[in-house]
Chains A and B, each alone.
Chain A
Amino acid sequence: MFRRLLDWLDDRTGVESAVKHFLYEEIPASSGWHQVFGSVALFAFLVQAATGILLALNYSPAPVAAYDSVRYIVTQVTAGRLMRALHHWGASLMIVVVVLHMLQTFVWGAYKKPREATWIGGVVLLLLTLAFGLSGYLLPWDNRAYWGTVVTTQISALAPGAGPLLVRLLGSDGTSIGAITFTRFYVAHVQLLPPLTVLLIALHVYLVRRHGVAPAPEDEYQPKKKFYPEQVAKDTIAIFGWFAVLMGMAILARVPLGHMADPTDLSYVPRPEWYFLFLFQFLKWFEGPLEVVGAVILPTLAIVALILVPFIDRGKMKAVRRRAGAIGLAVLAVIFWGGLTARAVTTTPESREMDMSLVKPWQQISAGNMASIGFFRKAQCGSCHVLGKSGVGPDLAVAPSSRPADWLEGHIRSSLKVPGALTDDQVKMLAAFVSERSVPAVDAWQNAPQNAVAGAVVYQANDCGSCHKLNGVGDQLGPPLNGVGERHDRSWIEQHFADPPKYSPDSIMPPFKFKPDELKLITDYITAIPR
């Protein structure tokens, strides 16, 4: 019955014969483990396509919204962090396997006549893979993405003659990037590159089939093998190993999301993805008018040389162990690449960026807002105004209060369970807060831990903001407090309050003698605020 169904299907579509034709293709006797990389690269592409489509289902392709949606994916979507990590590390591991594939082909000399076109198609596929990496880099729209892409667009500006046109094509005005660059990178990443890549992969695989897997010299005297089952098993095992590494990395290695792209953040030092680091370092060798040589001319020549490889080396097929020149060149290239990469890593350490996907809204709002939340809790307003539910009073989390300020202040004063629980200033702040609160403040209102809220009340009561800036609010007489918990340890901060000049000699900060519980609360609070 089943056999008859299959026969019918094969008769009408030819699918069974096609699969058989595919599996029982003849391959040289010398085929083996060194030829698994092509299949792994194809599989890597499929993983990128699948995870990319899944990410796009929760992604909003416009500046600002893009950042918020990536943040949403990694903090709220079930398995979203894993999906982003698979796509991120999948890209890196795809580069690894594509380069290994190319090195193998090069060392074995598999590009020789009649396989020149297969090789050139492979070089173009490598460039497409790198283009995927470059365009995808911008899409999270964090500082890393923004500043990295500023450098990318400026490199294209150096291209002799075509520079200004390229810059315009990338949607930049020459100094900064914005909505247009973003949109073009997005379209390249999801609409232009994928079909191009699929087309080239199809052509590449067709050519491999047309010319057959490259034989070694000794193959002439040995009977051919079939692709199935031996080589298929080897390919499958290699794919499985590759995927296990990817899964392990995606689970264990966190992919950070930095601060949202900020063109005014002058402290950020961009560094490209690891596979472009060698170029980044290479650029440092060329000064002034020579920069175009390092940034454009030499990389272009390298690509041209790569394309010309089969026309430069036209000798007959030789056994691998006799290809000393090719092996030497490959080793030199790897040393050159590795040396430059290592040098870049040591001379330009990565900007220490906070992983903002781990930061809660209450760590990002102003101390004044946090203190107002403290007043709300202290005055027990929540016994009537239940946040997130309708209680005796209106649910203040749904919408800001539209009552005028003097009505609100009178209402708060008359509702205090303990008369005088809030000072006049505190009542005013709370009234302003309920009519103007931001979205993150509403989250903090419901979820901020009490010690942080109480710490902010201490912060407010002592008017720390009249000298220090915290989350963008406050003056700059003293140092900004964001990230103070990373700059100093806890006991330093606690002791510093009582005698500032003892710990920082030039300090003009007056001493603050806190009660032990207040000292703990304010230290808890300020050390929790990220850079």
Chain B
Amino acid sequence: MGMALAAPAAAYLLVADNSKRRENFVEAGSLAQLKIGEPQEVSFERTRVDGWRNFQEKSIAWVVRTSENNVVAYSPQCTHLGCAYHWEQSGKQFVCPCHGSRFSIDGKVLGGPAARPLDRYPVQVENSKLLIGSEIEKA
């Protein structure tokens, strides 16, 4: 009897729910506004599934145009413990104010406690418009 209760209870608490999270791409401005090699904060409307709530919310990505037609979009939270980091123009690096993790412009860890490179949003470029996907990809 104990097992009959404990097993579903464990599954209830620990297994991810089965709500569908579908990737959808939304427009986040034109490529023209981005200069090559200069990270920029870009905001876009992202669909988020949060338990029983399913809603649009403003999201932020750090977007870097790496060449004429290539763009990467980083999730704005440090991969250490999730604080919001910022771009430091003087040192040409992303810096997290919480525990001092540092990342290069291509997302690699330069120093500090972070163990993996910056997480990314999937991006697409269509007719020189930038499209950002809704599901974060862990590096």
- Residue B29 at the chain A interface, CB threshold 8 Å: no
Whether A291 contacts B83 in the complex (CB less than 8 A), given A151-B98, A269-B97, comes out as: no
Chain B contacts of A153 at CB under 8 A? Answer: 82
* Residues of B close to A175: CB separation below 8 A: 75, 77, 82, 119, 136
Check if B14 sits within 8 Å of A291, measured CB to CB: no
Complexed CA–CA distance, A266 and B58 (Å):
12
Asked if A348 lies at the interface with its beta carbon under 8 angstroms from chain B, I say yes
Using Cβ atoms and an 8 Å threshold, which residues of chain A touch B115?
A: 288-289, 291
Minimum distance in angstroms from A5 CB to a CB of chain B? 48
Partner of A264, one of B14, B50, B58, B83: B58
Q: Is A425 an interface residue (CB 8 A)?
A: no
Residues of chain A with a CB closer than 8 A to B84's CB = 147, 265-269
Interface size on A, residues (CB 8 A): 37
Chain A residues, CB < 8 A from B136: 175
**A282: nearest chain-B partner, CB-CB:** B99
**Cβ of A287: which chain B residues have Cβ within 8 Å of it?**
111-113
Question: Is A178's CB under 8 angstroms from B13's CB?
Answer: no
A155 in the interface (beta carbon within 8 A):
yes
Contact in complex: B41, A266 (CB < 8 Å): yes
Q: Interface residues of B: mostly helix, strand, loop or mixed?
A: loop
CB-based contact A180/B50 at 8 Å: yes
How many angstroms from the CA of A264 to the CA of B51 in the assembled complex?
19
Interface membership of B60, Cβ < 8 A:
yes
Total contacting residues, chain B, CB less than 8 A: 38
Contact A269 B83 (CB under 8 A): yes
Query: Shortest CB–CB separation between residue A13 and chain B, in angstroms?
Result: 37
The answer to whether A178 touches B109 (Cβ under 8 A) is no
B-chain residues with CB within 8 Å of residue A169 when the two chains form the complex: 13-14
Contact indicator per residue, chain B 50-64, by CB within 8 Å of chain A (1) or not (0) = 111100011110000
Bound CA–CA A288/B79 (angstroms): 11
A168 interface contact, C-beta 8 A:
yes
CA distance A342 to B53 in the complex (A): 41
Contact B81 A151 (CB under 8 A): yes
Q: Which of B14, B57, B97, B111 has the most chain A CB within a 10 Å cutoff?
A: B97
**B130, CB-defined interface residue at 8 Å:** no
B86 within 8 A of A: yes
Q: Is A513 located at the chain interface by the 8 A CB criterion?
A: no
Inter-chain contacts of B43 with A (CB < 8 A): 264
Tell whether A264 pairs with B59 under 8 Å between CB atoms, given A150-B81, A179-B53, A269-B83: yes
A483 to chain B, nearest CB (A): 18
Of residues 67 to 120 in B, which have CB atoms within 8 Å of A's CB atoms?
75-77, 80-86, 97-100, 109, 111-115, 119
- Which residues does chain B contribute within 8 Å of A291, judged by CB atoms? 80, 113-115
CB distance from A272 to the nearest CB of B (A): 10
Binding site for A on B (CB under 8 A): 13-16, 41, 43, 48, 50-53, 57-60, 75-77, 80-86, 97-100, 109, 111-115, 119, 136, 138
5 closest pairs, A vs B, by CB? A178-B50, A266-B84, A150-B82, A154-B81, A180-B51
Q: Told that A168-B14, A280-B98, A291-B80 touch, could you supply 13 new A-B pairs with CB distance under 8 A?
A: A147-B83, A150-B77, A150-B82, A151-B98, A264-B43, A264-B76, A266-B41, A266-B85, A269-B83, A269-B97, A270-B98, A288-B114, A291-B115
